Amino acid sequence: MTTAPKLSFDVQLSDHARTAAEREQVLASPGFGQIFTDHMISVDYTEGVGWHDARLMPYGPLSLDPATSVFHYAQELFEGLKAYRQVNGSIVSFRPFANAGRFNRSALRMAMPELPEDVFVESLELLVQTDRDWVPTTEGHSLYLRPFMIATQAGLGVNYPSRNYKYMVIASPAASYFSGGVSPVSVWLSTEYTRAAPGGTGFAKCGGNYAAAFVAQRQAVAQGCDQVVWLDAIEHRYVEEMGGMNLFFVYGDRLLTPALTGTLLPGITRESVLTLATELGLKPEEGRLSIEEWQAGCESGELTEVFACGTAAVITPVGSVKGADRAWTVGDGTPGPVTLKLREELVGIQYGARPDTHDWIHKIC
């Protein structure tokens, strides 16, 4: 086996970067995923050649043939992670090699090429170092990083995967999900639609999963709820996860989360919470929970807290649940102590207020 020569990134700086004043105006109220930094990463893949043309370049539109495969058959995948400005001033990311590994597991499922993990992490480092002034200084804010890969071969043949791909990274400053403290979300139990079936793409972070979810999310909003809770595709009874977050159920000092059966997205926040829980004296377990058990647990008082977790919103309490024929509240509808403790611990590690005993923090600059 020959090893491919190491990719080196060509750097082309923007000649129309935003001024400091323009940037500060964005950073004063960044919202989420609306405004992007001055640069982006692009790396191309050609079958038989491998990855090539790695570059950092000015942020801007792509020009693609209308027959490009991704537009028709959705052969694409993405990742999501953040760069944080720590209390000591350094800029770090959280477990980026875990995202690199998941990116490649998604790629295998989508018949797309794997990207070497060190190229994935180096691409993030280069973009964040170049656009470091875009990493917010406001507490709880961060720079959201969006690596993704698309199939770029032009042609409508549906029998074979694309022979060409493009990997990119874009970055967007993000406000804290919670402007007025940690507020619980209300959830809608989707029994009409399902997100993922056994053998499908539920564990892959591929665009099609989210395209298929919008109709249920719209239904949730029409029902007065913030988010969808997805149930298993076979019995429509067992809790899987939310649209972009995994779920945890707190029974006193016992912490239950749905097991990774292939239909759930294996969240890096989920995995980190499982680790932190043990250290905080909780007993985490991966298992199965039906909506009947969820409701009965809340009514008996045994199930004291429910929370969702993911990179974007960190840890979010679930306050109330609604389904086609049922509705209930979790605890008294306010954030519980286990939820808040885990959140404080995780955020503390990310922003450097707590020691990083797991080597989760990856210093960028």
Burial class (CB in 10 A: 0-12, 13-18, 19+), 120: buried
Q: Which stretch binds ligand PLP (CB under 6 A): 62-70, 266-274, 279-287, 343-351?
A: 266-274
Residue spans of alpha helices (H) in 261-313: 268-279, 291-300
269 binds ligand PLP, rule: CB under 6 A: yes
Strands, E assignment, the chain: 10-11, 39-46, 50-58, 76-78, 81-85, 91-94, 142-151, 164-174, 185-190, 227-231, 239-242, 246-251, 254-258, 283-287, 305-310, 314-323, 326-329, 361-363
According to DSSP, the residues that pair with 268 across neighbouring strands are none
Count of helices and strands (H, E) across the chain: 9, 18
Q: How many CA atoms lie within 13 A of 273 on its CB side?
A: 33
Under the binding rule (CB under 6 A), the answer on residue 205 touching ligand PLP is yes
**Binding-site member from 26, 151, 239, 265 for ligand PLP (CB under 6 A):** 265
Query: According to CB under 6 A, which residues from 54 to 93 bind ligand PLP?
Result: 80
Candidate residues 93, 217, 246, 295; the one interacting with ligand PLP per rule CB under 6 A: 246
C-beta closer to ligand PLP: residue 9 or 120: 120
**Site residue total, ligand PLP (CB under 6 A):** 13
Q: Which is nearer to ligand PLP, 145 or 364 (CB)?
A: 145
Mark the segment that binds ligand PLP (CB under 6 A) among 42-50, 178-186, 261-269, 291-299: 261-269
Kindly identify the residues of this chain, within the stretch 118-177, that bind ligand PLP according to CB under 6 A. none
Closer of 27 and 268 to ligand PLP (Cβ): 268
Q: Nearest distance from residue 254's CB to ligand PLP, in Å?
A: 21
Burial tier of 191 (Cβ tally within 10 Å: 0-12, 13-18, 19+): middle
Nearer to ligand PLP, 161 or 208 (CB): 208
Q: 153 vs 246, which CB is nearer to ligand PLP?
A: 246
Q: Does 244 bind ligand PLP (CB under 6 A)?
A: yes
Of 47-55, 168-176, 263-271, 344-352, which segment contacts ligand PLP by CB under 6 A?
263-271
Q: For residues 241 and 218, is the Cβ–Cβ distance under 8 A?
A: no
Q: Does 241 bind ligand PLP (CB under 6 A)?
A: yes
Angle of helix 96-109 versus helix 117-130 axis, rounded to 10: 130
| 343 is a contact residue toward ligand PLP (CB under 6 A) | no
Q: Does 311 bind ligand PLP (CB under 6 A)?
A: yes
Q: What is the DSSP string of 345-363?
A: HHHHHHHTSS--TTS-EEE
| CB distance 346 to 272 below 8 Å | yes
Q: C-beta of 22: minimal distance to ligand PLP in Å?
A: 30
C-alpha 91/C-alpha 81 separation (Å) is: 13
104 interacts with ligand PLP by CB under 6 A: no
Q: Which is nearer to ligand PLP, 75 or 263 (CB)?
A: 263
Distance CA 298, CA 357 (A): 35
- Residues found near ligand PLP in the complex (CB under 6 A): 80, 205, 241, 244-246, 265, 267-270, 310-311
